[in-house]
Structure 1
Amino acid sequence: MADSTDSTSDPAIELRLGDRELEISDRYETASIANDVLIGLWFIVGSVLFFSEQLATAGTWLFLIGSVQMTIRPAIRLARRVHLRRLSGERTTAHPMDF
């Protein structure tokens, strides 16, 4: 029988700034998820457009847009860390499931 304090099945939540940190993290996580969905859509539509020679240029543009958005993901993570650090005035730890 598993121990109820097993951190692998139920990760601990750290609220160093209270509810404000949780609210900030939720907003950045939502932005990251929305960004990931858009990346997927750009690449799916771009892939379909490659089936037609006339639409290959549009597909290439969608791949470029998706690639640019892939650089936005670490920018979202960095913005979250900077935001939390400004609020706390001290170094914040990375969330175990950092988006």
Structure 2
Amino acid sequence: MSKTQLFRKENREHSHETRRVYALFELAYTLVDFLAAFCFILGSVFFFYDGLVTAGTWMFLAGSVLFAVKPTLRLIREIKLISMGDSEDVARRLET
């Protein structure tokens, strides 16, 4: 298997920096998860009140957008980790 494949555990274990980047993205991913859940819960509560139905609809839309952010974060993280691994490989090749 190539080192340039996405979503490989080895990509996050190249160095201290790749582990740090992975951890930061996991924190962001978890925060987005909580925010999306909050939007859906609040939107659900809003639907109990006629005057808040429109606000509830907006909360559902916000939650949906946040759920779309999650795979985007994962893809960006993986591309970043691969690029970090590649730069280390290039540096090693230049030393020899």
After TM superposition, which residue ranges in structure 1, 4 or more long, deviate above 2 angstroms? 13-16
Task: Show structure 1 runs of 5+ residues with no match.
Answer: 1-12, 91-99
Q: What are the Cα deviations for residues 32-72 of structure 1, in whole angstroms up to 9, with x where unaligned?
A: 00000000100010000000111000000000000011110
Task: Show structure 2 runs of 5+ residues with no match.
Answer: 1-8, 88-96
Query: Among the aligned pairs, what percent are the same residue?
Result: 36
The structure where helix makes up a greater share of residues is: 2
Considering only aligned residues, what root-mean-square deviation do their CA atoms show, in Å?
1.6
* Count of residue pairs the alignment pairs up: 78
In the superposition, the TM-score normalised over structure 2's length comes to: 0.76
What is the Cα deviation at residue 20 of structure 1?
Answer: 1.1
Q: 2:13 and 2:38 mapped to 1: Cα distance?
A: 36
Report 1 or 2 for greater relative contact order, CA contacts < 8 Å, sequence distance ≥ 6.
Answer: 2
In the superposition, the TM-score normalised over structure 1's length comes to: 0.73
